[in-house]
Amino acid sequence: MSAPSRAIEPWMLQPLTGFVNEAAARLVLLMTPAGQVMAQYGFSKAVDVMSAAALGAAILASTTELAKLLGNPPFAALNHQGQRHGIVLGAFDTPRGRLVALVVYDTEVSSLGLVQLFFDQLTADLAAAAPRAEQKKPVLAADFERDLNQSLMSLFGR
Amino acid sequence: MSLVNFTTREITCKIVYYGPGRSGKTTNLHYIYGRVPQERRGRMVSLATQTDRTLFFDFLPLDLGQISGFTTRFQLYTVPGQVYYNSTRKLVLQGADGVVFVADSQARQLDENIESLQNLQENLLGQGVDVRALPTILQYNKQDLPRELILAPADLDDALNFRSVPSHPGDALHGVGVFETLRGISELVLRRLAAGTPA
């Protein structure tokens, strides 16, 4: 991926770009609670994005379960402060379903407070921009097997 | 569930390797990681204990390339097999498009296989997933062990495969059956997408 911002569904792009500019975020990932990437800013390699999404979704899922064990509603957001970078992780609802955001910021350029301040704006912008659920439709040609076999053969060097 | 981007023509699917502890789920992913060219795979993430038992999951993203004009990526996950970690197993199972059940072929592990299979069904039902509709494949791993220690694939089919899903004998440590298993589950998941009924 060469573009700094990228979204699976175009309606996410404007809120994402606005948030990145306002909060001076270094990396941002929007994903489903199952860890599927919906939009991203700042990552350069698609497969690295997927790893970050899997880990982010896992952290949030496990703390949500911890909250349940404690009899609490889910934690609104989590943050981790490192020497050079900080991470904010939070989930929120949109008309297109629940989303998880992972935000990474440089502590010299931004701050937890700044990210938190605009995080609420991001969730509101996404909720306002989200269209209603789209109808599912077939996506693959029925004879995809040949492509799949060729792809897997090349993947395994056969 | 599968993520489909019609604008950029991309598909992302989640495959979960399930099964009892030490059945070879992580070994499957390690073998795939070792065989696949670097540019077609991401970093393998393993959240494991100090003794290398899976604590949360292993994760390996694969780029399958173009299939029917779609850039297709698979996310391979394993769950922790130990009974103790059921809460994390449930989390990893969320949103799975397909499941590979890795059974341990050793005769003495049959009860663990059955228990894990029942646990899979309970966890899927708990998430409102119709077990019969979810693409699933069985792999009978460790078929390289001495004959007197293991059950033959036909016997394992009788004991475990009551839904008659595709099954493959395997020796994941040396790669036997790993490719066939991945191809099998990929076909089932993509066929479901082609039919217009994503998981």
10 Å CB burial of residue B177 (0-12, 13-18, 19+) is buried
8 A C-beta contact, residue B89 and residue B128 = no
8 A C-beta contact, residue B172 and residue B32 = no
Cβ of A55 under 8 Å from any chain B Cβ?
A: yes
Average pLDDT over residues B111-136: 95
Percent of chain B with pLDDT over 90: 68
Cβ of B131 under 8 Å from any chain A Cβ?
A: no
Do the Cβ atoms of A33 and B42 come within 8 Å?
Answer: no
What tens digit of pLDDT does each residue of A81-134 get?
999 999 999 999 999 888 999 999 999 999 999 999 999 999 999 999 998 766
Q: What is the largest CA-CA distance in chain A?
A: 53
Q: For an interface test with A, which of B35, B91, B187, B189 has the most A Cβ atoms less than 10 Å from its Cβ?
A: B91
Task: Compute the nearest-CA separation of A117 from chain B (Å).
Answer: 30
Average pLDDT over residues A36-61: 84
Do the Cβ atoms of B67 and A33 come within 8 Å?
Answer: no
Q: Is the pLDDT of residue A154 over 90?
A: no
CA distance A56 to A40: 13
Q: What is the mean pLDDT of chain B?
A: 91
Q: For an interface test with A, which of B10, B55, B64, B86 has the most A Cβ atoms less than 10 Å from its Cβ?
A: B64
Do the Cβ atoms of B94 and A46 come within 8 Å?
Answer: no
Q: Is the pLDDT of residue B113 over 50?
A: yes
What residues of chain B lie within 8 A of the CB of A34, using their CB?
Answer: 1, 14, 94-95
Q: Is the pLDDT of residue B119 over 60?
A: yes
Do the Cβ atoms of A147 and B66 come within 8 Å?
Answer: yes
Q: Is the pLDDT of residue A140 over 80?
A: no
pLDDT: is A19 or B71 the higher one?
A: A19
Do the Cβ atoms of B65 and A141 come within 8 Å?
Answer: no
Residue B69 Ramachandran class (φ > 0 left, ψ -120 to 50 alpha, else beta): left
CA distance B137 to B102: 9
Domains of chain B: 3-194 (3.40.50.300)
Look at residue A47 in the predicted model and tell me its pLDDT: 62
CA distance A73 to B14: 28
Do the Cβ atoms of B64 and A38 come within 8 Å?
Answer: no
The secondary structure of residue A73, as a DSSP letter, is P
Q: Is the pLDDT of residue B179 over 70?
A: yes
What tens digit of pLDDT does each residue of A63-72 get?
888 898 899 9
- List the single residue in B with minimal CA-CA distance to A9: B5
pTM of the model: 0.85
Task: Compute the nearest-CA separation of B69 from chain A (Å).
Answer: 8
What residues of chain A lie within 8 A of the CB of B95, using their CB?
Answer: 32-36
Cβ of B29 under 8 Å from any chain A Cβ?
A: no
CA-to-CA dists, residue B82 to A54, B92, B115, B171, B193, angstroms: 21, 14, 11, 21, 32
Q: Is the pLDDT of residue A2 over 80?
A: no
Please, which residues 36-75 of chain B have a Cβ atom closer than 8 Å to chain A? 36-37, 40-43, 45, 47, 56-57, 59, 61-70, 72-73, 75
Look at residue A1 in the predicted model and tell me its pLDDT: 39
Fold of A5-155: Beta-Lactamase (3.30.450)
What is the pLDDT confidence band of residue A29, given thresholds at 50, 70 and 90?
very high
ipTM: 0.72
Q: Is the pLDDT of residue B45 over 80?
A: yes
Cross-strand bridge partners of residue B54:
B48
Percent of chain A with pLDDT over 70: 90
Of the segments A59-68, A69-78, B68-77, B122-131, which one has the largest average pLDDT value? B122-131
Cβ of A33 under 8 Å from any chain B Cβ?
A: yes
